[in-house]
Amino acid sequence: MNILENGIFPDCGKYCGVGLGNFDGLHRGHMALINTLVHKCRLNDLHSVVYTFKKHPENILRKKLFTPLIMTREQKTAILAKIDIDTLYFQEFDEEFSRMTADEFIKDILVEKLRSKLVVVGFDFRFGYMCRGDAEYLKKMGRKLGFAVIVIPPVKVGGEIVSSTLIRQYIAKGRMEKVFELLGRHFSISGKVVAGRREGRTMGFPTANILPEEYLIMPAPGVYVTRTLYQGQWYNSLTNVGICPTVKNDRTASVETHMIGFDQELYGKDIEVFFLKKLRSEKKFETHADLINQIKKDIEKARNEWY
């Protein structure tokens, strides 16, 4: 998979099929779109392109409204690299780009730059200045300019339309089973392990502490059943999201993971923590002994979720 940013789109010797969207989370709806794109491109000998953005457009257009993201750009790239896509294109969405009209986007980007013969979008796709372009307008212009348009209908799970917004709401509530249903995989947080206070190690439960990117959505504070990926190996784990009130005095949020049976040095190493289920909310214990007893109980409860 080629990864490109802005600039000139190289001539690949073929016309292109293009999937458009922000694709935050790469949830079931997004994957339905991308799988359709790949299938149609194979059938019609087109070069498949996923065209997305470096930053969430709402965070540029509505400067006072911060939309937390479900995944990092690196996570998005890693997932798409496993799919047979020819090119992943990251567009810089800045104020200048936001002023591009729907017609300019179609003619300058889709027709001239990408040489599109197929465009695949979601049912609620909007584009161009003031979001004046939509899927129906794209179809109309496609008929005029010579490219086909496929609109992916809503994907529903349990009667709910799958969307990044809904998934963010469930993450923020700690409802990880619902997140799994809508994403089609477990929500994860990745990062480099940083030095902590080492209280966990002194209590017999060493933790790997990571500081997630500030722009990411965070699960509700609490203790979670997790699985942690390190250097290609999976480890059962328990993860505390929050401020660790028993052993910390500051209010800085953190992600602290105890990997069962793992006692190697991890500082500076990359790990990825996958959230399966929330066990309980955070609470302050009177003594370290009380906390240790609770952690033991948490591990026993978690065993049924590790399979």
Q: What are phi and psi of 134, to 5 degrees?
A: -140, -175
Q: Are residues 9 and 141 in the same domain?
A: yes
What DSSP line would sit under 208-220, residue for residue?
EEE---TTB--PP
**What's the pLDDT at 199?**
58
Query: Residue 303 corresponds to which amino acid?
Result: R
Question: Residues 180-206: what's their mean pLDDT?
Answer: 81
The tokens for 116 are: 């599109």
Q: How many residues does the chain have?
A: 307
Pairing, β 160-161 against β 148-152: unpaired
pLDDT of residue 286: 65
Q: Are 255 and 208 in contact (CB under 8 A)?
A: no
pLDDT at 245 over 50: no
The closest alpha carbon to 185, from 80, 110, 275, belongs to 275
Q: What is the mean pLDDT of the chain?
A: 89
Query: What's the longest Cα–Cα distance across the chain?
Result: 73
Range of the domain at 254: 186-302
| pLDDT recorded at residue 251 | 45
Q: Which residue has the higher pLDDT, 26 or 55?
A: 26
Cβ–Cβ < 8 Å for 102, 137: yes
Q: Which of 97, 84, 8 is nearest to 49 (CA)?
A: 84
User: 289 — phi, psi (to 5°)?
Assistant: -65, -40
Please tell me the predicted confidence (pLDDT) of residue 247: 43
201 with 148, same domain: the answer is no
pLDDT digits (tens, 9 = 90+) for 246-287: 444 444 568 999 999 898 889 999 999 999 999 998 877 767
CB 53 within 8 A of CB 91: yes
Residue 174 lies in a domain: no
* Assigned domain for 102 exists: yes
CATH of the domain at 64: 3.40.50.620
CATH code at position 265: 2.40.30.30
Residue 19, class by beta-carbon neighbours within 10 Å (0-12 exposed, 13-18 middle, 19+ buried)?
buried
84 & 211 share domain: no
Looking at the structure of the chain, the number of domains it has is: 2
Whether residue 169 lies inside any domain: the answer is no
197 pLDDT above the threshold of 70: no
Q: At what angle do helices 164-173 and 176-183 cross, to 10 degrees?
A: 160
Are 204 and 154 contained in the same domain? Answer: no
Task: Say if residue 145 is in the same domain as residue 223.
Answer: no
22 within domain boundaries? yes
pLDDT tens digits, one per residue of 60-97: 555 555 789 999 999 999 999 999 999 999 998 787 88
